[in-house]
Amino acid sequence: MNKIHFKKIFTLEIKIICLMISLLFVFIFVFVKFLDDREKDFYNEQVSIAANSTKNISFELENILRDKKQLVKSFFEDNRKMVNHLIENSNDYSEYERLDEKLGKYFTDYFSLNITNDETEFVVDEFEGKMGWICRNDVAIFLKNSNQKIRIHPNAVSYHYDILIDFKYKSKTYVFIVAFKVDEIASLLKISTRENHELVMINKSKDYLIAVTANGSRDILGKREGIHLNKGEIKNILSEQLIKGTFWSIVDVVDENLLTEYKNNLLSEEVFELIVYLLLNLFVGIFIILTFRKKENLQHELLTQNETIEALNDKLHKLAITDLLTSMYNYRYYEENSLKYFNESKRLEVNYHIAVIDIDFFKQYNDHYGHKKGDVCIQSITKIMKDSFRRANEFCARYGGEEFVIVSIGHSGKEFSRRLNKLIQTVEDTKIEHAKSSICDYVTVSAGYSSSEFSTLSYVDEYFEEADTALYRSKSNGRNKVSRID
């Protein structure tokens, strides 16, 4: 018993250790999943920041360009006479300067102006080189498509973008060109840039050519190598938004170290938590093992005591339901189980049978042969009875004195009657001498039975009473026979 007990404790400790290891793996899995989720959440948060930034910037720039076109058109309408004068007098540079000065006061980011004819030739000579072949090329495309796509381009002086207004003068087509610096765009990018993000205006069709950054146009890119976004920056683009009516797109490029630093910081925090969990897990595991050892010892002691008590209880119960003389079930067993058999027969929808059996002239047998011989006689008959009715669905019990009951379920009433008759014949064939019997030289028994096949009674006691009545009919009709109430 002690070896078994210690083996159980050892097995329990192994189970607890396995449980701790399992919990560790679960924690590691949750830990890794948590890290992954936190990284994804952080990344998605940065993507959301980038998306909002590019969306807002593109919206603002579209409004700026739309307003700029409207203002240029209004300025042109207000100063149409001066423009017409320049067309007629292209060498009147003083008029050009007056118009240039007015535009400078009208627009804070104004850069230059000119007028072209439908051949894209400048009306006013470009001595300063503020407008060049790219401007003329844009005018040609504008005249051809009647639609302008704005782009930033360089000249001999500075990077700029143009606003074009076409008009007619003396049946000829001209284009009024106003060029603007990119300072306003750069300022907008600068104030809209979030920490660890960079907003860049690019021309994606030109291999991510940089147009404007928060520092200004691409001619003042500072420490940046090249005028295109590099592969690392393209990879780190979190959001991109096309600006309508232009060649530009606004992209948000996240700092390549941001996600790595966040992951490392998060990993440091979670590793510390993991170490704390491991120590706590170890402490709890040891505590549980010690606690269970103590509990198992107590349980072992209680189990031993319970086993002894249960064995005694089983023995007492067996004694309580067993007739001491015959080792057959007694009246108490019948009372406890007859109803169970009756209910079981109804549940299974099979027949319920009960027989009451009595030894004929047993009082005379006892008086003549003595009680000791009477006990032996009873023991012999009960042995025959138990041998005759020993199926799993039936039992025999000593009801009291020389009276017995048999309860059986399942087979037919005819089969039950046949077995009872065989029992009566077996008792007689045993030839237990009975000098005081008035019907036979040997001990005989009489039986009465009741069956649900023939009776529709509601209670188990009613079947017993009917069987008992049938027994008295057997006795009245000469004994040593089986009877049933019709």
User: Is 208 inside a domain boundary?
Assistant: no
Tens of pLDDT, residues 385-419: 999 999 999 999 999 999 999 999 999 999 999 99
Tens of pLDDT, residues 48-107: 988 898 899 899 988 988 999 999 999 999 999 999 999 999 888 899 899 999 999 999
Domain boundary among the residues 153, 181, 209 is at 181
Q: Residue 43 and residue 23: Cα distance in Å, rounded? A: 29
User: Is 87 inside a domain boundary?
Assistant: yes
Tens of pLDDT, residues 209-263: 888 888 877 767 666 677 888 888 889 898 999 988 888 899 999 887 887 887 8
Query: Do residues 371 and 362 touch, judged by C-beta distance below 8 A?
Result: no
Domain that holds residue 363: 331-484
Which residues partner with 110 through β-bridges? 180
Residue with tokens 């059996």: 357
Q: What's the pLDDT score for residue 5? A: 52
Strands 172-180 vs 209-213: parallel, antiparallel or unpaired:
unpaired
- Number of Cα atoms under 13 Å in the Cβ half of residue 347: 6
User: Is 44 inside a domain boundary?
Assistant: no
Query: Do residues 446 and 479 touch, judged by C-beta distance below 8 A?
Result: yes
Query: Do residues 262 and 268 touch, judged by C-beta distance below 8 A?
Result: no
pTM for this model (two decimals): 0.51
Q: Residue 132 and residue 431: Cα distance in Å, rounded? A: 143
Q: Residue 214 and residue 260: Cα distance in Å, rounded? A: 24
* 107 CB neighbour count, 10 Å cutoff: 18
Domain boundary among the residues 128, 147, 181 is at 181
Both tokens of residue 37?
Answer: 């989720």
Domain boundary among the residues 128, 163, 181 is at 181
User: Is 2 inside a domain boundary?
Assistant: no
Q: What is the dihedral of CA 16, 19, 20, 23, to 10 degrees?
A: -160
How many domains does the chain fold into? 2
Q: Residue 289 and residue 18: Cα distance in Å, rounded? A: 12
User: Is 214 inside a domain boundary?
Assistant: no
Residue 268 CA to chain centroid, in angstroms? 29
Q: CATH number of the domain at 157, please.
A: 3.30.450
User: Is 319 inside a domain boundary?
Assistant: no
What is the residue-averaged pLDDT of the chain? 87
User: Is 68 inside a domain boundary?
Assistant: no
Q: What's the pLDDT score for residue 1? A: 47
Q: Which helix (H) or strand (E) holds 399?
A: strand 394-400
Q: CA-CA distances (angstroms) from residue 259 to 38, 39, 178, 224, 232?
A: 11, 8, 44, 21, 14
Of 288, 297, 306, 284, residue with least CA distance to 9:
297
466 has pLDDT over 80: yes
Which amino acid is present at 237? I
Q: CATH number of the domain at 338, please.
A: 3.30.70.270
Both tokens of residue 416?
Answer: 């039950």
User: Is 405 inside a domain boundary?
Assistant: yes
- Measure the CA angle with vertex 114, ends 112 and 117; round to 5°: 160
